[in-house]
Amino acid sequence: MLGEHTPMLSGTYPAFETLIEWWNSLADHVPHCDPLVQIGLTWADKYDDRLGATNAYAVAMHEPGIFFK
């Protein structure tokens, strides 16, 4: 299965981390947006905590080139 033809989850978490970085940057550079950004970051942290507690998600997120033996 190739990533070009089949949706892959392996790029999802790095994209999620980038989104968090952008929100933090937005809060730093546009202070009046900080209260709204903090609400979003609170929900993102809750989501991230749930991801860490789910083993099936970790298996689904493995890089396509890595194989388990």
Distance CA 11, CA 63 (A): 8
Q: Model confidence over 1-58: pLDDT tens digits?
A: 455 655 566 677 788 889 999 999 999 999 999 999 999 999 999 988 887 777 766 6
Question: Per the domain annotation, does 66 fall within a domain?
Answer: no
Q: How many structural domains are present in the chain?
A: 1
Q: Of the candidates 19, 16, 22, 18, which has an alpha carbon nearest to the alpha carbon of residue 51?
A: 16
Q: What is the pTM of this model?
A: 0.62
44 is a domain residue:
yes
φ, ψ of residue 50 in degrees (nearest 5): -70, -35
Residue linked to tokens 């997120």: 61
Which residues span the domain enclosing 39? 12-60
In a domain, 28, yes or no: yes
**Rounded distance between C-alpha atoms, residue 48 and residue 23, angstroms:** 15
Q: What is the pLDDT of residues 45-68, one digit of tens each?
A: 998 888 777 776 666 656 555 555
